[in-house]
Structure 1
Amino acid sequence: MRTSLPPVLLALSLLVPPAHATQLSFLKPAGPVAAAQSGHFWFVIIAMLVVVVPVFILTPIILWRYRYGRRNASYRPEWSFSWGWEILLWGGPIVLILILGTVLWAETGQLDPYKPLGPHPLRVDVVGYDWKWLFIYPDLGIATVDKLEIPVGRPVALRLTSDTVMQSFLIPALAGQIYAMQGMRTKLNLEASQAGAFLGENTQYNGTGFHAQKFTTTAASADDFRKWVGSARAGAHALSPAVIHALETKGTDKDMARGLHLGGPSDLVFRLPVADLFTRILRDGPAAPAHALLAGSPIAAPAAPKQKAD
């Protein structure tokens, strides 16, 4: 016998990702920033119910009373004003707005994306392209495309820019949205409180490949993160002018891997030739020749990943 879900339940089921999928909602927070955002969201929802619930209850009652129960309803053609109703109808929303505004003001400061989350953060520089993200680990000497690896329990400090049009960087389960713009630097601080794979994406429409500009943020234990750094360094390819050209060419990570004759997006791991690549991209942008971005003193031997102090 064939069965089907009601439309409402079907729509709700689409909002919940399968168990094996990357987490993609701040309603299932995996870090302190997303947890604070989720708490703020539910507070606003509950507070708004103070206004919404009476409306939904009283509207059908009033309609029934004056449509079908009008014989029992009092008829007062001279009635025009009531202090009680005025105070209730205006006072309630005013108090609610004051409460929401105060909470929003306080939490805006607490959730400032530029505010560090703790000492010894992992530094990651992020550059947006059409239609992929470059993640630079200046202290580790490596860079990845569409794959952000972070350790659990350690703050992560991101610096962001775009090598093309304005883009919007978002990892819903870990932090809020921040824009990346060419020639400008923005910051975002986040932290993962649990291991897992979390969806990240560009939410700013910027062309035909916009829908595919997604990446995976993987949070792992400190030991697993150190192992990943070691394997990434061992298998990293040289970040050459050809790689810079592939990054600046419109296309997804799959297109880039194909153009560089690599096995797939998982092979897009590169050794940094210079320590200040992000600064050079930020300063010179796409107008700079690829060889100019990579010219200069070679990067020093990267340090081992730091552990979070107990």
Structure 2
Amino acid sequence: MAFLLTGCELALFDPAGPIGEQAKDLIIISVALLLIVIIPVLFMSIYFPYKYRTSNKNAEYKPSWEHSTKIELVVWIVPCLIIAALAYFTYVTSHDLDPRKPLGKDEDTLTIQVVAMDWKWLFIYPEQQIATVNEISIPVNTPVEFLITSDTVMNSFFIPRLGSQIYAMAGMENRLNLMASEEGTFRGMSANYSGFGFSGMKFKTHSVDQAGFDAWVNKVKASEHVLDEPTYKALSEKSKDNPVVYYSDVDPLHFKKTIEKYTGVQNGK
């Protein structure tokens, strides 16, 4: 089994950010607590049949046995302790890993607006006035706030090495705060099946230094494409394995309008 898994990308156990690191620790702690039950059970499932096999004439035989205080204490106290420990870690991490919890000051945080589409991801940088499809770049060691919505069915935004996944839903805005603590290119994906082109709904996250990020922004600004209404209408058409596209200009209210399209605000309702 270990050999078969050598080709797998165990992204959750190779985090590249503080949120991913805490998520990995939580998984390890949860598994360790559960092993307290699983290991003894696996041991007893082998030991008991062997000890009480028919050929073992020396095995203890108590046909009238019906109660053991020691066993009762073990089978009740141990699970209660495990549940209490899991409850504690769940409570603490639920607050520490709150996706809306900022990772830094507002002035130091990069904002990226995310729109899930069929079957591609649109990323808008409101401060830089640019947009991209299926590619983002972030400065290393810089807090990033993702504002996430959908212009189609419900989806799920996930960068495994950076941390938490969160749902993208039409007419709603979800927030996710992440940060990369090392440079590299990280795989991003949809974690919720959304139709025929779901398998190609992937993107790359480039974590670079500030100079590299500025160079990337300038590269996007040099694009001849502009995300206006006709362009967005064409982009909204269903497509599979959509290539990376850069847009040098975008309506600063595009993300807001996408949400309002499903809430009836634009129609005065």
Give the ranges of 4+ consecutive aligned residues of structure 1 lying more than 3 Å apart after TM superposition.
285-289
Equivalent AA in structure 2 for residue 13 of structure 1: T
Matched residues in 2 for 1:288 and 1:210: separation? 30
Match of 2:261 among 284, 298, 301: 284
Counterpart check, 1:275 vs 2:263: no
Counterpart check, 1:76 vs 2:29: no
Equivalent pairs, count: 264
Matched residues in 1 for 2:224 and 2:137: separation? 15
Q: CA deviation at 1:74?
A: 1.4
Percent identity for Structure 1 against Structure 2: 36
Gaps spanning 5+ residues in structure 1: where?
1-7, 17-23, 255-264, 290-310
Could you give the per-residue CA deviations for residues 259-309 of structure 1, whole angstroms, max 9, x where no partner exists? Answer: xxxxxx34x1113342111101111259999xxxxxxxxxxxxxxxxxxxx
SS at match of 2:78: helix
Matched residues in 1 for 2:90 and 2:60: separation? 44
Gaps spanning 5+ residues in structure 2: where?
none
Q: CA deviation at 1:99?
A: 0.5
After the TM superposition, which residues 151-170 of structure 1 pair with which residues of structure 2 at under 5 Å, given as runs? Answer: 151-170=139-158
Match of 1:108 among 80, 94, 99: 94
Match of 1:252 among 197, 219, 240: 240
TM-score, normalisation: structure 1? 0.81
Q: Which residue of 2 aligns with 1:13?
A: 6
Matched residues in 1 for 2:155 and 2:193: separation? 8
SS at match of 1:238: coil
Could you give the per-residue CA deviations for residues 176-201 of structure 1, whole angstroms, max 9, x where no partner exists? Answer: 11001111111100000001111111
Match of 2:225 among 237, 244, 250: 237
Counterpart check, 1:227 vs 2:215: yes
Bigger Cα displacement from structure 2, 236-245 vs 87-96: 236-245
Q: Which residue of 2 aligns with 1:92?
A: 78
Counterpart check, 1:138 vs 2:131: no
Q: Which residue of 2 aligns with 1:304?
A: none
After the TM superposition, which residues 123-134 of structure 1 pair with which residues of structure 2 at under 5 Å, given as runs? Answer: 123-134=111-122
Could you give the per-residue CA deviations for residues 203-259 of structure 1, whole angstroms, max 9, x where no partner exists? Answer: 2111110111111111111111111111211225111333212221001353xxxxx
SS at match of 1:128: strand
Q: Which residue of 1 aligns with 2:164?
A: 176
Could you give the per-residue CA deviations for residues 5-58 of structure 1, whole angstroms, max 9, x where no partner exists? Answer: xxx244212324xxxxxxx61210000000000011111111211111111112
Matched residues in 1 for 2:95 and 2:203: separation? 28
Structure 2 vs 1, CA of residues 209 and 111 (structure 1 numbering), >3 Å: closer, same or farther?
same
Could you give the per-residue CA deviations for residues 56-81 of structure 1, whole angstroms, max 9, x where no partner exists? Answer: 11221111011155311111111100
Give the CA RMSD over aligned residues.
1.9
Matched residues in 1 for 2:26 and 2:55: separation? 42
Matched residues in 1 for 2:223 and 2:210: separation? 20
Q: Which residue of 2 aligns with 1:19?
A: none
Could you give the per-residue CA deviations for residues 84-133 of structure 1, whole angstroms, max 9, x where no partner exists? Answer: 01001111111111111111111111000011111121000000100000
Q: Which residue of 1 aligns with 2:103?
A: 117
Matched residues in 1 for 2:250 and 2:182: separation? 33
Structure 2 vs 1, CA of residues 117 and 203 (structure 1 numbering), >3 Å: closer, same or farther?
same
